[in-house]
Structures are given as structure tokens and as C-alpha cells.
Amino acid sequence: MRTSIRRSQRLMALAAVAALTTGLLAGCAKDSDDGSSDSSGGNGSGKGKTTLTIGTFGVFGYKQAGLYDEYMKLHPDITIKENVTTRTDVYWPKVLTRLQAGSGTDDIEAIEIGNITEAVQTQADKFVDLGKEVDKSQWLDWKLAQATTKDGKLIGLGTDTGPMAICYRKDLFQKAGLPTDRTKLAEMWKGDWSKYVDVGKQYMKKAPKGTKFVDSASSVYNAAVGGASERYYDKDGNVVWDRSDGVKKAWDAAMSVATSDMSAKLKQFDPTWDQGFANATFASVACPAWMIGYIEQKSGDSGKGKWDVAAAPAASNWGGSFLGVPTATKHQKEAVALAKWLTAPEQQAKVFAKQASFPSTPSVYASLKPQADTTAYFSNAPLTQIFSDSAKTIPSQPLGPKDKPIDNAISDVGILQVEQKGKSPEQGWDAAKNEIKDVLGQ
């Protein structure tokens, strides 16, 4: 799910808006008006059983892959109840409120990548140290680092990641006179997102009527900044977004798109974006692993065999989450055991097979197998190889407590000012800067 997708927008954009509640005495039950829903694995609570609740957002795939049912069969004394909140902007503030109160949390709480640094820096004492419970070598180094405090406490176990590729329509590329071979295209834009923009300029010279090269400038920005070794914070925790080389390069690439005619100017995860997939109005999109299922769903039968996947210009990550166990849980031992099992390599592989959520445990990469229908949909592209090659080389980025709102300010304020309202890049940058000042309380 990006981090300003924000993992909750992964695979399907669940757009229900929920009201934030402060019902601290609700215990593990979720209020009916907060955008949450109970989706238990299937067993009733049962006399004498321990009910474990797991708070998630969007679609984690555990229920869909049958993992809850499998675990309950292995552990007849356990019942699992998943409490799903559709949006992270509702979910995370609610979790913070309950962590501070010391009650009302689920036995396991999911933490989105955009919130993990805030959890590490301000809430570490509210979570169990899971580093003592697991073999930490199972996870990618950069993924493990994101959930680890300075003194070595591991507050969350990595779930999926969002390694980057480029998804493109072969039929539209062919009509525009561009190569359709994924290897040739990867070579054309290898090394720099500005080269991807250059391919877009070529596309637009003979673009099929009514089509653009890319969905939005923001998608190019998010893909590019996701591969920077430094973006909004430096390794010492200082805010450096306005002088970060990674941000500058990503911004420049996005501005090249926003000020040209190559963008469909769609806001990602809005209904018009979904329609763009269905109507083939753009030829390519920055494509983290979780986007595969989304494209297949939104493009429908008309896109089968027309979409392909090529390596991205540079390794990049967009999305991913963690599972943490609050110290307030009354079932700490059982919750830790379930969190370990759900994030183990074998279970991550099962979720990948179901919905293409890419694991953060590299030991399973060689054996991952997408569904046959998905592989065929994307022209038999070697999906596992493309995404695993990216995942293994993604740089470890310093993250900060305001990473997500800073990212939102640049993508949803600054870039949109230029792309959709015709402002200059300088005006867009100033708009983002003013928004970020508010975020940082400056």
C-alpha cells in the first residue's frame, strides 16, 4: 500500500471516508462509524478460546489468502478477528490516541511505512521489542532498519514492500513508434527518471489520439523520490527536504512532465484515474508491485495481454507496512506468535501468490510464483525477477516523523498546482513550502 499510498490504497482504492473517534473505553471493538469493519477468520470466539484482534487498513491480504483460517486450524485455542479501517488517515490517529491512553488497541496493530518513523521515535515504549523474538536476518536490511530504534529495539515486523517497475501498454507504444520489448525499453530509460521523461517526449510525437504518455506528474515524482538515498530528513534527523538532492531531481522530473503535454493530469486513486486505466488514456505508469493487481482490476478484460512490465529507471520503493504488538495487550505472548507467523517468509509468499503484495523477506524471492492469469495479463513478463531485483538494491532512506505529510504537501499541493492549475514550477514549489511550514509548525 505508498506511503502517501499509502498502503491503504493498494490494489483497490477504498474511498469510504470515516470519522475519527476517541472511544477509548471501546477496548478492542471498533466503532461502527470510524470506517472500520470486523472480518473474522471464520471461527466464533468459542468458550475457553483466546480472541486475538489485529488492526489493519486497506487490504493486507491475510484473510484473502486464508491465513487466519490456517492459523486457527493450527491453534484451535485461538480465534482471530481483523478490524479493518479503510483509510490510514483515519486509522493511524486513532491508534495513536489509544496507545497514549494505554487501552483500546488491538492485540496487533499494523503500521504503514509513512507512520513507522513516528512510531519508532515517539511510541517505541508502547510496543513490544520483537527483535528478541525473531531471526532478524529474514528481512531486507533497509526494511528492518525502518522499524528499529537507535538503541536497537525492533517495534514492527515487515510485511510487504513496494519495489518499482514501469507498467506500459504495448499496443499504444507500438502505435507511437516506440519499442515494445521490455528489455529495450529498460535500457532506454535506465539510470535516471529524466530518461523516462525523454521517452515520453518521443511518445508524444506520434501519440495515438486521445492518449498521453503517463498518468500524472505526481506518480513520476513519487517513483523517483522513492529511490533517493536522502529525501526529507538526513541521517541525523534534520529536516532537509528543501535542500535534498533526491527531492530536487524528483521534482525536476515531475516538472518536466507537468509543464508538457505528456501527462493525463489525473489524480491517482480518484475515479477518473480508474477510468483512465479502463479507457487506455495513458500509456505507462510508475508501477510498484502492489499496482499489478490494481491495473488488472481497473483495466479489465480489454487490457489483457496489452500491458507489459519493464524494469524502472532506478531501484525505488513505494509502499509497505509492519505489524507491531502494543504492550497494552492482555495477550502479548499469543499476539507476538501470530505476528511472527503472519510475517514469516512462507506466509508472505502466500499473500504474494494471492494478490501480488511483494515480500520483505528475500529468502522466498526465487520461489515466488504470480498467478498464471496475472502473468498472462502482463504479457508473460518476469514479474518476480523484475521486482526482486529492485527490492534488493533499494537504498536505505532516513525517514522522519513528518515524512508522510511532507510528501503529501509536495505531491498533492505543489505538483498539482502546476499540473492542474497552470501555475509555474516556482509557484508550485512555494505552495508546497508554505504547506510544509504548517506541517512542521514553523
pLDDT, tens digit (0-9, with 9 covering 90-100), for 190-221: 999 999 999 999 999 999 999 999 999 999 99
Mean pLDDT of 248-267: 96
CB 147 within 8 A of CB 115: no
Proportion of the chain above pLDDT 90, given as a percent: 77
pLDDT in tens, 348-385: 999 998 877 899 999 999 999 888 889 999 999 999 99
pLDDT in tens, 157-189: 999 999 999 999 999 999 999 999 999 999 999
pLDDT in tens, 119-165: 999 999 999 999 999 999 999 999 999 999 999 999 999 999 999 99
Answer whether residue 244 shows pLDDT above 90. Answer: yes
pLDDT at residue 47, rounded to an integer: 59
Instruction: Identify the residue with better confidence: 399 or 104.
Output: 104
